[in-house]
Amino acid sequence: MAISRARRNRMAELGAHIILLAFAVIALFPVLLILINSLKTKKAIFRQPLEFPTSETLDLVGYTTVLQQGNFPLYFWNSLFVTGASLFFILLFGAMAAFALSEYKFRGNRLLGLYMALGIMIPIRLGTVGILRLMVTTDLVNTHWALILVYTAQGLPLAIFILSEFMSTVSSDLKSAGRIDGLSEYSIFFRLVLPLVRPAMATVAVFSMIPVWNDLWFPLILAPAEHTKTLTLGAQVFVGQFTNNWNAILAAMALAIIRCLFFTRSSRASSFGA
């Protein structure tokens, strides 16, 4: 009886793993395709797209173009800096606002929460003209801060919405105990509440990061200068009107993927730590 149940459990486990593995293969296949094709000659990309590079078809021309034409390490750094800084501010201000909205009773609390939630529904791009004007008058065009400010504003509504939901589940007795023990409101927020909502923070981080990292619109409009170009914008060089430089595009994509893997690993590590 016990043995057969154990065996049945094992079978179920195996089945689940097979399904998950199949799903992983399907999901990872295009990624693999990009990675192997970025290492091949142009002919080989179109003739045998599914084959691994052989000694004849191996060609690193994509990578050399990418690394020579345009300053990809710089684009990379720009993307990284803008995404990282935006993420930092989204999480910091998002969590603080969420705490205030869920913890303190003040006039207009509900209204303010609703106003923040509206931002989830209205795309920030609708305000592009206004934003551009603002950036021009404040002399922020072609700086990282132009992007960081816009992305922070773009990410805050969802962050506040998700985090205030989580903050209201933190035991009020715990906060009361902190107050009696003489912790300031800032300590209660940073030392008691934040560690408890870390999993939610990781979720918000992932959700906020992807659109920022992939965005083409605002870099194109607010910071197209060579020294502030992001990776997504930089890679556009190879997308021509009539011909695409596939080697370079694939190489750029491969680099971006590798980068993304690093990001996901670090955010996963933080959510496991909670």
Interaction of residue 110 with another protein, rule CB under 8 A:
no
Of 10, 47, 179, 227, which one interacts with another protein (CB under 8 A)?
Answer: 179
Reduce the DSSP state of residue 244 to 3 states and report it: strand
- Each residue of 126-162: b (16+ CB within 10 Å) or e? eeeeebeebbeeeebbbbbebbbbbbbbbbbbbbbbb
Element (H, E) at 25: helix 2-37
240 near 18, Cβ under 8 Å? Answer: no
Interaction of residue 106 with another protein, rule CB under 8 A:
no
Interaction of residue 270 with another protein, rule CB under 8 A:
no
| Tokens at 39, concatenated | 């290492």
Instruction: Give which of 126, 79, 81, 34 is closest to 229, Cα–Cα.
Output: 79
Residue 172 or 241 with smaller CB distance to another protein: 172
Residue 15 or 195 with smaller CB distance to another protein: 195
- Which one-letter amino acid corresponds to residue 234? G
Q: How far is CA 69 from the centre of its chain?
A: 26
34 near 260, Cβ under 8 Å? Answer: no
Paired strand residues for 58: 40
Q: How far is the CB of 113 from another protein (least distance, A)?
A: 18
Residue 68 or 171 with smaller CB distance to another protein: 171
What length does the chain have? Answer: 274
Interaction of residue 60 with another protein, rule CB under 8 A:
no
Of 138, 168, 169, 176, which one interacts with another protein (CB under 8 A)?
Answer: 176
Print the binding letters for residues 183-202 with another protein: x by CB under 8 A, - otherwise.
x-------xx--xx------
Print the binding letters for residues 123-162 with another protein: x by CB under 8 A, - otherwise.
----------------------------------------
Residue 177 or 261 with smaller CB distance to another protein: 177
Residue 49 or 273 with smaller CB distance to another protein: 273
Size of site (CB under 8 A) for another protein: 15
142 near 223, Cβ under 8 Å? Answer: yes
Q: Interface with another protein by CB under 8 A: which residues?
A: 171, 173-174, 176-183, 191-192, 195-196
